[in-house]
Amino acid sequence: MNAIIERDIQSALMDACADAGVEYKHMPTDGRWHRTDVSGDRNGKGDASIMLFADGMGGIVCNWKGETKTFFVDDGRQLTDAERAERKQRANAAKKESDEKRARERNHAAAVSLDAVGKVRPAQNDNPYLLRKGLTAVDSLLEVEATELKSIVGYEPRARGESLTGRILIAPIYIGSLLVSLEFIDEAGRKSALKGGAKAGGHWAASAPTKTSRRILIAEGMADALTLHASTGDAAVAALSAANLAQVAEAMREAYPDAEIVIGGDLGNGAQEAIDAAAAVGGKVAFPDFGADRLANQKDFSDLYVAHGADAVKRCIDAPVAPSADTSESDSAGLLDDEPDAPIDDAPVSKGKRARSSDGCIPAGFTVTDRGVFYEEDDGTPHWICSELHVRALVRDRASENWGRLLEWNDADRHPHVWALPMEMLRSDGADMRGELARLGLDIAPGAKARNKLTEYVITSKPKARGRCVTRTGWYEGAFVFPDRTVGAARERVIFQAETVARAYSQAGTLSEWQQGVARYCPGNSRLLLAVSTAFASMLLQFSGQESGGLNFVGDSSTGKTTALRAACSVFGGKEYMQRWRATANGLEGLATLHNDTLLVLDELAQVDAREAGEIAYMLANGSGKARAGRSGAARARQTWQLLFLSAGEIGLSQHMQAVGKKTKAGQEVRLVEIPADAGAGFGLFESLHGMAGGAALSSAINEAAVRSYGTPAIAFLDALCAEIQEIEPWLKRETSAFLGRHLPANANGQAHRVCQRFALIGLAGEYATASGITGWEPQQALQAAADCFDVWMENRGGSGNQERASILSHVKAFFESHEESRFSDLADTSDRPTINRAGFRRCTETGIEYLVLPEVFKREICTGFDPKSVARNLIDAGWVRPSSDGKSQRSERLPGKGTTRVYVFTSALWEAQ
């Protein structure tokens, strides 16, 4: 009997929740109130309560944003007068208890709110959330560190089960003139309201209306209200939820009867609420217009502001429409994403839930609900395919190739995922796609049929939204593309598309925390300044006209090399951003593509195969991978990139290659510039300890800070760059020329010129970041560090001359020092002493000893690793080889037993050089 009652009470509760618009949860029959959520509230604010009577015969569902419903298991049965009176009394008592509890919670929340606003500070313009939205703070917006929030409000506010982090924005909520609650928004955009605070009819004012306000703008969220005010200058308030729009609009109409009221709606689930709110007060409604290429994740006015600027927002607000009586989701000029679908009969969906479409376009036979994707057989039987998955847009590259689908879903922790799936992954059975979706938390039904239907669903979904895809990070038409975001605005939305979702680029902490933990230790330490400035320089490389290249810190273990690399990594991401040289050339091609227009950091040079090290340095700097054949045998497109790379190792490239008998070429050493890690101050890489006990203590402080705070400097740098992108190229050209004029010797060759240009770019990037308020360094510190390190490079190199010529002369000297006595026959010697492995002959002349080298020995041994013609030309220029009368490098000489033979004649200038 108890099992029957339990089943009936839960079934009745499910129906009551659906009727009241409350999320169903299994509840105990204990006569106590339990929190749950309003249906469709993805933020999980707990705006509903459920109580089941202890006898298991009924209960109450209270939607704090809507209605309260009392229900009984045997609803519909004819009741006696006594039963009816008893139930009415029970319902009234429970309702009274609920109202009293709610009133106590509201009063407490109001008192906490009043106390809290006196303890927190005004919001600052550098708040990461405001920076990402491109907005500035207003007087009514407050701010507090997450670590302080619990002590102020008495508990730890959470959103979707996660703690709020970083610098928290606080929006005070008013009903009329009374402060009733607080809304919290953290740096990641997660929102939470003060527990127990009143919400219905409450608003936050970005710019409070007055009796003289001609127009009042009402938005759903805080960012939208700030956007509307910033774009129009009008009074703007936030209702803080779509369900609250109508009540806030009615309150505004009552307080300001002569003002025009415009509801700024979202292109999502709350669009109909915006239309209804405008209709209720005789107002108008406006929706953001992104044009034909709008993507589904562009829903509100703050998205429009980021994508197209304030003028685009103002145009929409200045052309609102009056909602007609028959306005519906399906006829709102194609603006709404989530059109209503008929619920599936017998599908496992709570009563009252509407099936939701994916951007208004779901393939025939499929239905998407909050319970997942379903496929309906001809007999009407629904089959579950996977958890909720939306196909939001079709994406393609600028050549209308590399087509893909933009997918969105939440994992079991309600963490959102977005992935631009290349359609090439579906060329077979879709296993690659399913593997990546499963790895990222999508639940997929077992069985071959369900798997095939998932592939069919993705392929046949054809949303109207479009986007441009890129297969590598970096600049695209004025916007900078990361795997997880795009900074700046191109002509249309640009999306990173790849077969896997990359997580190397990430953010944690705040910019000010990064400045205090990492950047402040750089001044006075030339190598640290250089490393961090190189990270910024990678984003300027495209505007400089320079080719890719790298820097390599060389020195003993525990000198601080890896610390410099980690400091540079923190500009873009956390500890996982650093890569290792321990990889094949093919693997490094993929890494280079992922770091296009950014910094590739590779630690421990000795771990790469010495036989490949030189070629990899060429490959990374030349910006192109190997040509490969595709499945059909035709050539596949090469992987290309443009980047700066930062490296460290206990040995340099030349020493590493010598271990396998290879020699470095001058081009390799120019592409990977080696800097001694030891700065010569007795502290390893460091010259200034900034009050630390030693180099180890300073390294630990920087490493710990780089794990806590990272990623925000790159975003801030790009935000500043995109705001004046047209001025960057001429500025770089002008300042680079000035740097070369100050620091490049007048007789420098092309190799030193190229390296000096790279150091100039690095120093100027550090200066630009400083001028943009990102580093906290003093002006000229980054440029001075670049100049100092360039001087060190030239000193170690032996000057600003041609390094290839120096390498040739050194190699030739080494040959003669090893073999001048043993492998050359003396032309004046009449003995029969044999010369083993003869390289040539020697003779005494009036000007000194000359060596006559046989042509094949010259090509095979003396010129090993070099071009023979280049060697001969450099030897003649140095005066080491005496040319023939016609200027050729070989002369005709009579040799014993050989007659007249062409040889290379080395003069006494060689020995004078030794």
Residue 84 lies in a domain: no
Domain boundary, last residue among 730, 763, 797: 797
Between CA 706 and CA 687 the distance in angstroms is 20
Indicate whether 395 pLDDT > 60: yes
Q: Quickly state the pLDDT bin for 664 (edges 50, 70, 90).
A: low
Residue 189 lies in a domain: yes
Residue 773: both structure tokens together: 């308020």
Whether residue 267 sits in one domain with residue 123? no
Indicate whether 45 pLDDT > 80: no
Query: What pLDDT is attached to residue 668?
Result: 63
Whether residue 228 sits in one domain with residue 325? yes
CATH number, domain containing residue 253? 3.40.1360.10
Which residue type sits at 253?
A: R
Whether residue 450 sits in one domain with residue 373? yes
Whether residue 521 sits in one domain with residue 451? no
Indicate whether 912 pLDDT > 90: no
**Number of domains making up the chain:** 6
Indicate whether 585 pLDDT > 80: no
Query: What pLDDT is attached to residue 501?
Result: 66
Residue 536 lies in a domain: yes
Domain boundary, last residue among 744, 776, 797: 797
Indicate whether 359 pLDDT > 80: no
Side-chain-side CA neighbours of residue 478 (13 Å): 14
pLDDT in tens, 834-857: 888 999 998 988 888 899 999 999
Residue 820 lies in a domain: yes
Whether residue 670 sits in one domain with residue 566? yes
Q: Quickly state the pLDDT bin for 487 (edges 50, 70, 90).
A: confident
Domain boundary, last residue among 18, 52, 78: 78
Start-end of H helices in 341-480? 431-439, 448-460
Whether residue 721 sits in one domain with residue 588? yes
Residue 524: both structure tokens together: 């006075």
Residue 654 lies in a domain: yes
Residue 504 lies in a domain: no
Indicate whether 119 pLDDT > 80: yes
Whether residue 207 sits in one domain with residue 191? no
Query: What pLDDT is attached to residue 628?
Result: 60
Whether residue 748 sits in one domain with residue 600? yes
CATH number, domain containing residue 554? 3.40.50
Query: What pLDDT is attached to residue 361?
Result: 67
**Domain extent for 641:** 517-629+636-797
* Tokens 């150091």, residue located: 759
Average pLDDT in the 632-652 region? 75
To the nearest whole percent, how much of the chain has pLDDT over 70? Answer: 87
Lowest mean pLDDT among 64-68, 707-711, 763-767: 64-68
Query: What pLDDT is attached to residue 680?
Result: 87
Whether residue 615 sits in one domain with residue 734? yes
Whether residue 566 sits in one domain with residue 478? no
Q: How many CB atoms lie within 10 A of CB 808?
A: 25
User: What region, left, alpha or beta, does residue 176 occupy, with left being phi > 0 and alpha being psi -120 to 50 degrees?
Assistant: left
pLDDT in tens, 875-900: 988 889 999 988 899 999 988 878 88
Among candidate residues 668, 375, 695, 386, the one with its CA nearest the CA of residue 528: 695
Average pLDDT in the 412-436 region? 86
Among candidate residues 594, 575, 572, the one with its CA nearest the CA of residue 714: 572
Q: What average pLDDT does the structure give for the chain?
A: 83
Q: Quickly state the pLDDT bin for 237 (edges 50, 70, 90).
A: very high
pTM over 0.85: no
Query: What pLDDT is attached to residue 525?
Result: 95
Residue 450: both structure tokens together: 């369900």
Whether residue 367 sits in one domain with residue 326? no
> Which string of DSSP letters, residue by residue, matches 322-367?
PPPTT--GGGSTT--S--EEPPPTT-S--TTPPEE-STT---TTEE
pLDDT in tens, 296-349: 567 889 989 988 889 999 999 999 998 854 443 333 333 333 333 322 222 333
Residue 72 lies in a domain: yes
Residue 24 lies in a domain: yes
Please name every residue paired with 143 in a beta bridge, in sequence order, or none if there are none.
121, 169
Whether residue 678 sits in one domain with residue 599? yes
Contacts of 104 (CB under 8 A, 6+ apart): none
Average pLDDT in the 451-473 region? 86
To the nearest whole percent, how much of the chain has pLDDT over 90? Answer: 33
Average pLDDT in the 481-495 region? 78
Indicate whether 450 pLDDT > 80: yes
Query: What pLDDT is attached to residue 491?
Result: 66
Among candidate residues 28, 97, 30, the one with its CA nearest the CA of residue 62: 97
Query: What pLDDT is attached to residue 513?
Result: 93
